[in-house]
Structure 1
């Protein structure tokens, strides 16, 4: 779909150029680089890393609890297998063993559900942040294109559905990526 639109735009550019009706002003931009080098992307990634670290910590703590419970279960199993126990004591240990096993299953299930839910939340938050960052970049790009009177701005980092770059060649003189990066990072905190 995107490739078809870009192809139509390129044909339109070539048609205008051949007719000579007006001069077409075209620029390129590297959207991958803008996204990668924008300081807010780093901030979002750091926030994601912090949330992942908290999830890992919570997981480790719960895994430790599960491991302790497994040790209790093993101890109860050994006690249950003791041939010197009378039937009443064996029955009591067996009931404790069953309860501990059910507790372990519930704990494992609860941990898995918790981690799945939290990972989904972190992923959704990251997607929201990235959408916001992309909207900021796109807004600035549109403002720059209008201010400098560009007819078309092409993303030179974009690939077609066959993973071939859509824009195969452009002069660097038409690339506005550096100027946009400077504008985007003007409010970046000093390191």
Structure 2
């Protein structure tokens, strides 16, 4: 798709969205076009070129680097234990050992197996917790940035007496961004629709909707299963 085609497509989406808002407000397109002030913004560009996005990316990369370093240290510790286990197992198979020494080595091997399994569990748990933390960190950063951008756009909409401002980039397909990032409150007709929906409502209904079902406590993000018994 050429840049010209893409720009034409974006303009079409913008204009169609504006007309949809006009229709939603029960204003004829002609009247809407005469009195409306329509604006558009590229939310993708605002997000990518906002300096706080770059600051957040740098902070996120630093967190990833720190977790990778810690993770690698845990992997190294596991590998060291594994080497010790392999050495003990070889020693326990030495036919020159006495029965007493062979039993001592076998006991040491079993103890090392337990230690090795615990180390592996710790590595997996750290990896899961780290991934969860980094995902949450990225989400919180993006939410805060998008909130600030949307507030700036909506302030511009109010201050500039815009009727509607739409996102021309389609950024909403990858982020929590509505197509209409700002709309004059006078276009909202929720009350009118609600009145029509409730026109035939029976009497003696509760005045408000009750609370939903009680939520269950969230399970642990990294449930630990019992370690298997060491090999005999």
Aligned to 1:124: 136
Superposition CA RMSD, Å:
2.6
Aligned to 2:69: 57
Gap regions ≥5 residues in structure 1: 168-191
For the 8 Å contact 1:69–1:104, the answer to whether it is kept is: yes
CA distance in 1, matches of 2:172, 2:72: 43
- TM (norm. structure 1) is 0.74
Gap regions ≥5 residues in structure 2: 1-16, 180-232
| Pair 1:115-2:127 in alignment | yes
For the 8 Å contact 2:39–2:166, the answer to whether it is kept is: yes
Deviation at 1:11, TM superposition (A): 3.9
CA distance in 1, matches of 2:18, 2:87: 68
For the 8 Å contact 2:19–2:29, the answer to whether it is kept is: no
Aligned to 1:34: 46
- TM (norm. structure 2) is 0.62
1:106 to 109, 114, 118: 118
Residue 95 of structure 2 aligns to a residue whose secondary structure is coil
CA distance in 2, matches of 1:7, 1:122: 41
CA distance in 1, matches of 2:156, 2:33: 24
| Pair 1:83-2:86 in alignment | no
CA distance in 2, matches of 1:10, 1:45: 39
Distance 1:78 1:21, change over 3 A: closer
CA distance in 2, matches of 1:62, 1:84: 36
CA distance in 1, matches of 2:106, 2:19: 73
For the 8 Å contact 1:66–1:107, the answer to whether it is kept is: yes
The number of equivalent residue pairs is 159
For the 8 Å contact 1:16–1:24, the answer to whether it is kept is: no
CA distance in 1, matches of 2:30, 2:19: 16
Structure with higher helix content = 1
Deviation at 1:82, TM superposition (A): 0.8
Which whole-Å deviations, capped at 9, do the CAs of 1:136-177 have from their partners, x for residues lacking one?
A: 10111001011111101110112787xxxx98xxxxxxxxxx
Bigger relative contact order, structure 1 or 2 (CA pairs below 8 A, ≥6 apart)? 1
